[in-house]
Chains A and B, each alone.
Chain A
Amino acid sequence: MPAEPHSRRPAVGEGPMMRLALIGLAILFLAAFLALPLVAVFSQALAKGVGAFLKGLADPDALSAVRLTLTVAAIAVPLNLVFGVAASWAIAKFNFRGKSLLLALIDLPFSVSPVISGLVYVLLFGLHGSFGPWLRDHGVQIIFAVPGVVMATVFVTFPFVARELIPLMQEQGVEDEEAAIVLGASGWQTFRLVTLPNIRWGLLYGVLLCNARAMGEFGAVSVVSGHIRGKTNTMPLHVEILYNEYNFVAAFAVASLLALLALVTLAAKAALEWRFADQIAAAKR
């Protein structure tokens, strides 16, 4: 660790004044950009008292938004979890041609604007989309309905688990698995008894980040949902609707739930990094 010697040898570190100034600058910057928005969310939510806050949360439309958000995450996260495990098994445990291309393609959703992530499905399944007329004739609705919301969420959270697992499994190598196979374990036994215990904390870490994004996604979902209150409104969308209706207390009340989710995610993430640093991938992001 370079920190210790530096504090004792001022020749290579900064002077105490400079040190204080830099720490102050960093804290000031983070206070303005991180702490202030959080404080704003909670103070605006409670601006008219606890009663108004609770009334905003107990609204049937708000409750249905909470339900939809949980449902969508409950579908999207497991799908991307299975994909993440399969992708990292193929990429980390085997050598094949075109691996770096596959890695780049898995990262693709990170570099696509959320709005475009929704648009691609509208162009496929929307009323004027390529499959739109066929879907309408068969009575299936995807866009402006829950399936579209799920698809858009799966798209934007696509790389999270894979991105966490691939570097971790690459670091761990293949010796353990090879030993298990040589000793007569089946493929499934090897995965369940050898690989899974090695990657469980990294897996949890990836799921945590995937879930936070799944519950919080706004742009992609906004394009496909149609904003039907009580039906296709997720929590982030409900925040927008309430805000645009100048119902600020209710908007910030729902927003405070999402902010709480973000804080819990950060706390769990920090706990994992602190406790199991060696068992999650070196690349934090």
Chain B
Amino acid sequence: MTAAASTTATKPARRGWAFLAPTILPGFGTAFGFTLAYLCLIVLIPLGHMALRAADVGWDRFWAITLAPRVLHAFFVSFGCALAAALINAVFGLVVAWVLVRYRFPGRRLIDAMVDLPFALPTSVAGIALTAIYAPNGWIGALAKAAGFKIAFTPLGIVIALVFVGMPFIVRTVEPVLQDLDAEVEEAAASLGATRWQTFTKVLLPTILPALITGVALAFARGVGEYGSVIFIAGNIPAVSEIVPLLIVARLEQYDYAGATVIATAMMGVSFLMLLGINFLQRWTRSRHAR
């Protein structure tokens, strides 16, 4: 998602509309044609087909399915837990990124490499591992039980799983911005009498904020759709800890294709709006930092 710099040195020779800027390099037709065909076959046609199937259901039934109390509650759980996890990650992810960029200490490289573990670890493995830890008989679950509350098999368990899944998004989005921070700005703030906390909130945070928001949005979007790491720890109690993806799977297992399609399309619609938001945020970030 880096800025796409203009790569060809040649300028269009003639004015007016041209699909392809003049070039001497061969292979555009083949590469572009293959890319487009593969994209259509694997992604666009199947997704478009799903939207058509949802449209077949008709408006009335679409809303009847989407607005059913159990489905609405699942939407509430999915989006609520994903938002909570993304905000928790915003705080701790920023601390992790800060520590990794600013400080040198033994084991820093190891920790840096481990941050990507949630990207590399299969979600079902993460799911059963987190459940083993946070179930009432697990290492941390037992502590919670002694303190009088439950983590696994409640929405709290879902938040835990989504914190795990979303953490690298925040760290990896914020890290490059922290690396690019100009030390002079901080020095200027300090020499003008700002306390360290003032420098952080008034000078550093506004610079980091766009990237932080982007990371939060990415983690949020991932969390909403997450399935594997959540279903084990969630307990999947209807109207308590049932997430939207699980509901889709349940409808499919009952051969209720219409129900599954409608719920999936509604979720895609919301995800699409979030994608637009992320793109907008990235553009805003970029324009603010254009030098």
Measuring CB to CB, which residues of chain A are less than 8 angstroms from any residue of chain B?
2-3, 5-7, 9, 11-15, 18-19, 22-23, 25-27, 29-30, 32-38, 40-41, 44, 82-83, 86-87, 89-97, 99-100, 102-109, 111-116, 119-124, 126, 128-130, 151, 154-155, 158, 167, 170-171, 173-175, 177-178, 181-182, 186-187, 190-191, 209, 212, 215-219, 222-223, 235-237, 239-240, 243, 251-252, 255, 258-259, 261-263, 265-267, 269-270, 274, 281-285
Contacts and interface: CB of A to CB of B under 8 A. Distances in A.
B205 interface: no
A218 B43 contact: no
B245 A114 contact: yes
11 contacts: A14-B196, A22-B103, A41-B129, A86-B38, A114-B123, A114-B228, A120-B46, A122-B257, A130-B49, A255-B129, A283-B1
Interface string B1-23: 11011111100000000011101
A154 B42 contact: yes
| Centre residue among B129, B172, B249 by max chain A CB count within 10 A | B129
Contacts of B32: 90, 94, 96
A164 to B, nearest CB: 11
Judged by DSSP, the binding face of B is helix
Interface residues of B, number: 107
B267 A116 contact: yes
A34 B122 contact: no
A95 B190 CA distance: 46
Contacts of A259: 121, 125
Contacts of B21: 94-96
Contact of B99 (A23, A116, A129, A258): A23
A29 B96 contact: yes
A41 B227 contact: no
A126 B51 CA distance: 16
Interface in B44-101: 44, 46-47, 49-50, 53, 92, 95-96, 98-101
Query: A-B pairs with the 8 shortest C-beta distances?
Result: A113-B225, A216-B122, A218-B228, A187-B26, A219-B227, A120-B46, A95-B21, A37-B129
Interface string B96-132: 1011111111000101111111111111111011101
Contacts of B255: 128
B279 to A, nearest CB: 7
Contact of B24 (A27, A92, A115, A182): A182
A19 B104 CA distance: 10
Contacts of B109: 270, 274
B207 interface: no
A29 to B, nearest CB: 5
A94 B47 contact: no
Contacts of A106: 39
Contact of B124 (A32, A82, A237, A266): A237
A33 B260 contact: no
Interface in B248-291: 248-249, 252, 255, 257, 260-261, 264, 267-268, 271-272, 274-275, 279
Contacts of B103: 3, 19, 22-23
Contacts of A3: 101-104
Contacts of A266: 113-114, 116-117, 120
B139 interface: yes
A123 B183 contact: no
Interface of B: 1-2, 4-9, 19-21, 23-28, 30-32, 34-36, 38-39, 42-44, 46-47, 49-50, 53, 92, 95-96, 98-105, 109, 111-126, 128-130, 132-133, 138-140, 163-164, 167-168, 172, 179, 181, 183, 186-187, 190-191, 196, 199, 221, 224-228, 232, 244-245, 248-249, 252, 255, 257, 260-261, 264, 267-268, 271-272, 274-275, 279
A113 to B, nearest CB: 3
B133 A97 contact: no
A111 B218 CA distance: 9
Contact of B115 (A30, A40, A109, A173): A30
Nearest to A125: B46
Given A96-B20, A113-B245, A216-B123, 10 more contacts: A7-B104, A22-B98, A36-B140, A86-B31, A92-B7, A94-B20, A116-B264, A123-B46, A123-B49, A181-B26
Contacts of B112: 270
A92 B199 CA distance: 40
Given A115-B264, A262-B120, A170 B4 contact: yes
A106 B8 CA distance: 22
Contacts of B118: 34
A155 B49 CA distance: 15
A161 B96 CA distance: 27
B114 A267 contact: no
Contacts of A175: 9
A218 B227 contact: yes
A30 B125 CA distance: 17
A215 B124 CA distance: 12
A212 B19 CA distance: 37
A111 B23 contact: no
Contacts of A83: 34-35, 38
